[in-house]
Chain A
C-alpha cells in the first residue's frame, strides 16, 4: 500500500508553476526529494501536509483522498529545518506534546516516551530545555517529537542542514537506522545531493517545479534521463561535450576531440547531441578513446584526486582514485570509459 500518492497535482503561483507532480511513496519507504534551491521541494511537502491545496490533481494518503482532510487530520508529522522545538518546554514535554494534545492516557504516554527516548538515546537530556542542549541533542528531541506522534509518515525538511559536517554524517546513519527499525515511512527533502542519495531508497529529482526523474539513487546517478538531471546529480558535476553523431551512427564527433569517439550503441545518424561523461569515468591511463588535455590544477582530496584540465577552452574534470602527482600544464590523455557514456538529445532527453 502506498502511504502517500500524489496524482497529477498542479499548483500555480504567479510566475511559477509546480507540477504536474506524480509520485508514490510506499509504506516503510525512505523516499528522498532532491532539487536545487527554490525549485518547489517545500511546496511538494506542503501539498502532502495539506498546507497547500492543489489546483488540479489529488493527494492520496493510504488510499484515501486527502482533499477534505485538515492538516491536523492527515496524521503526518514533520521535522523542520530549524526544528521548531518549543523553547519553553523541556525535552520530555516536547516529545510527549503530540500525545498530550491528543489526550492519550497516562500509560500510553509514558510507554511511548520510554520507547522514543530509548531508540533516540535521549533519556539523559529529557529534563533539559532546548536552549541547554547541543545541536545534535536538539535534533534528536525534534525527531523524538515527530516519532512520538507515531504517524502515517514523517516528512523531514532538510532536518540536518544546520549541523556541522561530522554530525550530519552521524545523523544520516542514525536516521536510516531509525527508519528501518520502525518501518516508518520517511520523506526526506534536501538540496544536498550526497545526503539524499546516501539515505534514500528512491529519489525524486525536482527541477523547476517538475519531477524530472524518480528512481533508486543508483538509477538516477548512472542513468539520468535528461541532461538537467545529469547536471544536478553528481559532484563534481558531469562533463558535457557538444557535437554530433557520425554518418554511420557509431561514433560521436566533436571539433574539440580531433578523432571521433566510438559509441557502444548505435545512435541516430547525424543528430546534434551532447555527450556526458562523469569525472570518475575519465581515466588517466588505459586503452579507451582518449583526448589530449592540459592539466590546469589538481585537488588532492585524500581518497581521490580531482584533476582540472582544459580541452580547448572547455574545462574537463577528472576524478582519479588515490593520490596523483601531475604538474600543472602537463599534457595528458583523458580516456573515456566507453560503457559509461551518456548521450543527450538537443531537447535534453536521454538517447
Chain B
C-alpha cells in the first residue's frame, strides 16, 4: 500500500489535532494563572497591604514622631480609642457638616443652572458654538487656579467689592458666613459647565419628533418639558447629580487656596480636615481610623444602593 491519505486517516489527524488544542486549553488555564500572578501580587501589594497596614495603625497611638518604626506600633497599642475619639470629635463632625452644606447648596444650584443653560442650547442660534466653547472653559481650568482667581476676586480691595461699591474692610474670605458663600460661588462657577454638558447631552438625546408630537398635541413647552423631556433624561440626571455630589464631597483645592479652611475652621471640609490631621498634626493613626470608617460607611451605602437598583431593574 502507498501512503495516500485515506478519509479515515484524515479523521484521525483532525481528531489528534482536536486533542492537541484541548490540551492547550487545559494547560492554558494553568499557564494563565502564571500570567496573571504578577498583576495579582502587585494588586495585593498596592491594595491589600496598605489596607491591612492602615487597619493595624488605626488601633494604635502611633505617629511619625513616635520614635519607633510603624511595624512596632503595637508598643503603643490603643485598642479602639481612635474610633471612639472620631465619634466624638467636634472638629470632624463640623467638617462633615460643612461638606454636606456645601454639597447641598452648590450641587442643586449647579443642577438648575446647568439645566436652564442646556435648555437654551438645545435650539440652534447664531454663535451657539462660540458660546458653547466659552461656557465650557471654567471646567477646564485647574481647580487650584480657580481657587486663586476667586481668592483675588474676593479680596477686600478686589474687583468684587470694587464693583459692588463695598468698602475695603467688607471682607469675604475672613467672614464666617461670607467665606462659605465665596467658596460655594467658586465651586458653582467651575462646575456648572460639567452639569450643563451632561444635561445637554441628555436633552439632545430626546428624539425631536417626540417633542414635535407633544407640541402638536397641544402641550405647552413647560408641560412638555416636565412630561417628555425630564422622564427621558432621568438616567442622565441621576448620573450628573451623583457625579457632582461625589466630586463635591471631595472638594479640597478651591478651599485650600481660598481660605485654608478659615476663618478658624469655618470652611474646613472633610478633605481639608484629613489633610490637616495628616500633615499638620501628624496624627496618622487617627487619620487611618477615619479613613477606614469612611471606607466602611461608603461601602455600606454603595452596597445598599446597588442592591436597590438591582431590585428595581430586576
Stretch at the interface among A70-78, A111-119, A198-206, A247-255: A70-78
Q: Judge whether A86 and B228 touch: CB under 8 Å.
A: yes
**Which A residues are in CB contact (< 8 Å) with B218?**
72, 98, 101-102, 149
Q: Is A51 an interface residue (CB 8 A)?
A: yes
| Interface residue from A51, A77, A87, A88 paired with B217 (Cβ < 8 Å) | A77
**Which A residues are in CB contact (< 8 Å) with B217?**
77, 97-98, 101, 145, 149
- Assuming the contacts A77-B217, A101-B219, A102-B218, asked whether A51 and B212 have C-beta atoms less than 8 A apart, the reply is yes
Q: Is A235 an interface residue (CB 8 A)?
A: no
Q: Judge whether A86 and B210 touch: CB under 8 Å.
A: yes
Q: Is B232 an interface residue (CB 8 A)?
A: yes
Q: Is B158 an interface residue (CB 8 A)?
A: no
CA distance A245 to B198 in the complex (A): 70
Number of A-B contacts (CB under 8 A): 52
Q: Judge whether B209 and A80 touch: CB under 8 Å.
A: yes
Q: Is B213 an interface residue (CB 8 A)?
A: yes
Q: Is A165 an interface residue (CB 8 A)?
A: no
Q: Judge whether A71 and B216 touch: CB under 8 Å.
A: yes
CA distance A88 to B214 in the complex (A): 13
Residue of B nearest to A98 (CB): B217
CA distance A278 to B213 in the complex (A): 41
**Which A residues are in CB contact (< 8 Å) with B220?**
72, 101
CA distance A212 to B227 in the complex (A): 42
Rounded to whole Å, the gap between the CB of B167 and the closest CB of chain A is: 52
**Which B residues are in CB contact (< 8 Å) with A285?**
none
Q: Judge whether B228 and A82 touch: CB under 8 Å.
A: no
**Which B residues are in CB contact (< 8 Å) with A51?**
212
**Which B residues are in CB contact (< 8 Å) with A101?**
214, 217-220, 223, 227
Rounded to whole Å, the gap between the CB of A3 and the closest CB of chain B is: 16
CA distance A84 to B210 in the complex (A): 5
**Which A residues are in CB contact (< 8 Å) with B210?**
84-86
CA distance A101 to B213 in the complex (A): 12
Residue of B nearest to A74 (CB): B216
Q: Judge whether B216 and A88 touch: CB under 8 Å.
A: no
CA distance A149 to B218 in the complex (A): 9
Q: Please report B residues at the A interface, Cβ cutoff 8 Å.
A: 207, 209-210, 212-220, 223, 227-228, 231-232
Q: 14 A–B contact pairs at CB < 8 A? A: A78-B216, A80-B213, A84-B210, A86-B210, A86-B228, A97-B217, A101-B217, A101-B218, A101-B219, A101-B220, A101-B227, A145-B213, A145-B217, A149-B217
